[in-house]
Structures are given as structure tokens and as C-alpha cells.
Copies of this chain bind each other. A is one copy, B any other.
Amino acid sequence: MQSLRVALGDRAYPIHVGPGLLDAPELFAPHLGATAAVVTNQRVAPIYLERLTGTLARAGARVVPVVVADGEQYKDWRTLDQVLDAMLAARCDRSVTVVALGGGVIGDLAGFAAAVYQRGVAFLQVPTTLLAQVDSSVGGKTAINHLRGKNMVGAFHQPRAVIADVGTLSTLPERELRAGLAEVIKHGLILDAAFVAWLEQNMGKLLERDAPALSRVVLRSCELKAEVVAADEREQGLRAVLNFGHTFGHAIETGMGYGSWVHGEAVGAGMVMASELSLRAGLITADDARRARSLVAAAGLPVAGPAELSADRYLELMSVDKKAAGGRIRFILLEAIGRALMRDDIPAELVRTVIDGCSGRGTAAFHAA
């Protein structure tokens, strides 16, 4: 097991990464109240719920399991209310600890439930997907979706700890493994050129689920993200770089309806678009843009957006994106492999050109594969 710490003053918390952590009550015990409400979904529950419940019981907690439907389309008011209702029915008071067992959707949902239950209770992230282990479980962003946009309703609410058992990645469907790699690639592209070079050499191992390679990727991604979060907890500035690929990606997810594209796929295509925009804005070389695109392709992720979505629709969706300020669209662009910056002065015509050039090709083939 390796551990690191997210430096957030009185909200600082540890991240533990390694195999077999689900069976280690001593990792959970320091963070538990009398009751642990374990929020998970119908896919994860049969595999890991009983094991985690046993561990939490050994750590001394009464366990209230809450099993919700699986999928981004359930990250909504209704499912949130199911969680809150179950906690109220079980008479959980403010000393409860909410435990998120699952992927990014569960982490966002359970984290937001913890943020608003009786005005805020403690929570633990126990991510079981690569996406959640390398990205969404770290940083305290929680949310649910709204019909008018993704993650439009939420809170900043830091977990008391992130416990990432890399052993759970063995049961992860192929498509989700690849989706998780999108955020890994993102961390490299915006923050760490050496990590990008390593990924270019080791993508094959990662897709074969080589355990040491996966552990390295989880730990390095958490380190990179933790540094950004510690410097800018509430997304006032620097943290916005983590949205690289996400402005386009969210438009794809929203425009196609949640669940049609998984988050990492949309981010994959979004990163290719953002790299292409960086090239056309004169920020990076054609070779840099090619490397970004190749890495996304090597992870088996789409390098183009869906043919169904017009440039107008993208622009419409992106202008209500929460990263917009004062009506302008803010883009996170690359200025080199491993370095990002924010720009809000990109002409709409340039954006249209990039979208038109990055749409439709290969998408159907990808989704059929």
C-alpha cells in the first residue's frame, strides 16, 4: 500500500492505494462514526458490498446499505432522495459516515448526499473503477445532473479519506477501463510530460491490466490531482485545468443523453478537440496534437465526437456549462505536452471548424467495436 495526503488544512485527508484494501478495517476505523451508510449500485453490490460490510462491522460500525440503480442517468434528484430517505428511515444522525462504494457516479451522488444530509456529514470514497480511483474520488467535487446540464447541482465536500483498492479493477468491464484511462491521459497532458512519455510506452500493459502498471497510474494520477486541488480547492483558477477535454466532453454527454457515451469516452474525444483547438490557436505544434490524439486512440477511446451533434448544438450546450463566465466560453488548452492554460477569447468560428473536423469519423466503428 502507498499513501499520500491531500493538503487542505483542516480538511486534509489521506489517499491509500493498493491491493486488498477493502479487507483492512484499520484503514476505515479512524474515519467512521457509529453508523456507516454504504451507498453502492446494483452492479457493484453483488461483487463487493458484503466484503466491505464485513470490514466496516469489524471496524465497529453499524452498516446501513443503500443500493441504487447503476448508471449516469440515475445521478439525479430521484436517486439522491432514495439515499437520503434510506438514511432518514435508518435514523442516521449527524454522526453518520457515508461510504461511496463504486465508480464516479456513486462517488458524486453519495458525496452530494453527505454534503446535504442534515447540512453535511462525513464521507469516505471507496472507488472501484479506474476513473474514480484516478480522478473523481479525489478533490471533493460532488454533484447530480439536471435536465439542463451535467453536474449543475452539487457541492464542494471533501471526503475524510480515499481508499482505492486496485484489486477491484480486475472485475472492471473493458469499456470502463478504457474510459478511466482518459483521465489518466488528461493528467499527463496538462501536468506531466514525463508521465505522458511513460504512458506512450506502457499503454499496452495498462490495457492488459498489469497490476504494478495500474498501481503506478493510480498513485501518480492522485498525486497530480491532489497538488492541483490543494492549490485551488474551490476551482477559482488553477483547478480549471482539470477540465481539459471536459467542456467538449460534457457537451457530448448532454447532447447525446446521459449513458449513451460514457464520461471517459466523451472526454477522450473532447481532449482531441481541445488539442486540435490548441493547435489552431497557435499554442502547440502539429506533432504535440498528433501525440495527444495517438495516446487517446491507443487507449481505445474515440478520437471524434458523434456525427449527430452539430457545431451549433455544441456551442449552445457549452455556453450553459458552469465553466462559462459572463457568457464567454472558457477553454482549457495545451501550450505544450504537460502544460495547460485557460483561454476565454477563442473565436466561435475556430471552435466550429474544430468541431466539424473532429466529428463523426470513426465513432460508429468505435461503438460497434
A88 touches which of B116, B152, B327 (Cβ 8 Å): B152
The 5 closest A-B CB pairs, nearest first, are A88-B148, A118-B322, A119-B154, A93-B324, A116-B153
Interface flag for A231 (CB, 8 Å) = no
Chain A interface mostly helix, strand, loop or mixed?
A: mixed
| Cβ contacts A to B, 23 pairs, < 8 Å | A77-B81, A84-B152, A84-B153, A85-B146, A88-B148, A88-B152, A88-B320, A89-B148, A91-B319, A91-B320, A93-B322, A112-B116, A116-B153, A116-B155, A118-B152, A118-B322, A119-B141, A119-B156, A119-B235, A120-B155, A120-B156, A120-B234, A155-B155
Q: Is the CB of A85 within 8 A of B155?
A: no
- Identify A325's interface contact among B95, B143, B234, CB under 8 A: B95
**A119 in contact with B143 given A320-B91, A322-B93, A325-B93 (CB within 8 Å):** yes
| List of B residues within 8 angstroms of A141 by Cβ | 119
A325 and B116 in contact (CB under 8 A), knowing A84-B153, A148-B89? no
Question: Please, how many angstroms separate the alpha-carbon atoms of A149 and B153 in the complex?
Answer: 22
Contact B94 A322 (CB under 8 A): yes
Shortest distance in angstroms between A342's beta carbon and chain B's nearest beta carbon? 14
A115 CB within 8 Å of chain B: yes
Q: How far is the CB of A364 from chain B (nearest CB, A)?
A: 32
CB of A331 to closest CB in B, whole Å: 15
Task: Compute how far the CA of A137 lies from the CA of B165 in the bound complex, rounded to whole angstroms.
Answer: 45
- How many angstroms between the C-alpha atoms of A148 and B94 in the bound complex? 15
Number of residues on chain A facing chain B (CB within 8 A)? 40
Question: Which of A94, A119, A319 has the most B CB atoms < 10 Å from its CB?
Answer: A119
Q: Which residues of B contact A120 (CB under 8 A)?
A: 155-156, 234
In whole angstroms, how far apart are the Cα atoms of A116 and B146 in the complex?
12
A311 to chain B, nearest CB (A): 19
Chain B residues, CB < 8 A from A319:
91
Over the window 69-111 of chain A, the binary record of Cβ atoms lying under 8 Å from chain B Cβ atoms (1 yes, 0 no) is 0000000010001001100110101110000000000000000
Q: Chain B residues with Cβ under 8 A from A146's Cβ?
A: 84-85, 88
13 A-B pairs besides A84-B153, A94-B325, A119-B154 with CB distance below 8 A are A34-B326, A84-B152, A88-B148, A88-B149, A91-B319, A91-B324, A91-B327, A93-B324, A93-B327, A116-B155, A119-B143, A119-B235, A120-B156
- What CA separation (Å) do A91 and B316 show in the bound complex? 10
State whether A117 and B327 are in contact (beta carbons under 8 Å apart), knowing that A88-B148, A319-B91 are contacts in the complex.
no
Contact across chains for B154 and A118 when beta carbons are under 8 A apart:
yes
Give the docked Cα–Cα distance between A81 and B147 (Å).
10
Asked whether A326 lies within 8 Å of B95 as measured between CB atoms, the reply is yes
Most B CB contacts (10 A, CB to CB) among A34, A118, A234, A325 go to: A118
Query: Digit string of A130-150 for contact with B (CB within 8 Å is 1, else 0)?
Result: 000000000001110011110
CB distance from A142 to the nearest CB of B (A): 8
| Residues 232-253 of A contacting B (Cβ, < 8 Å) | 234-235
**When the two chains form their complex, are residues B153 and A117 in contact, meaning their CB atoms are under 8 A apart?**
yes
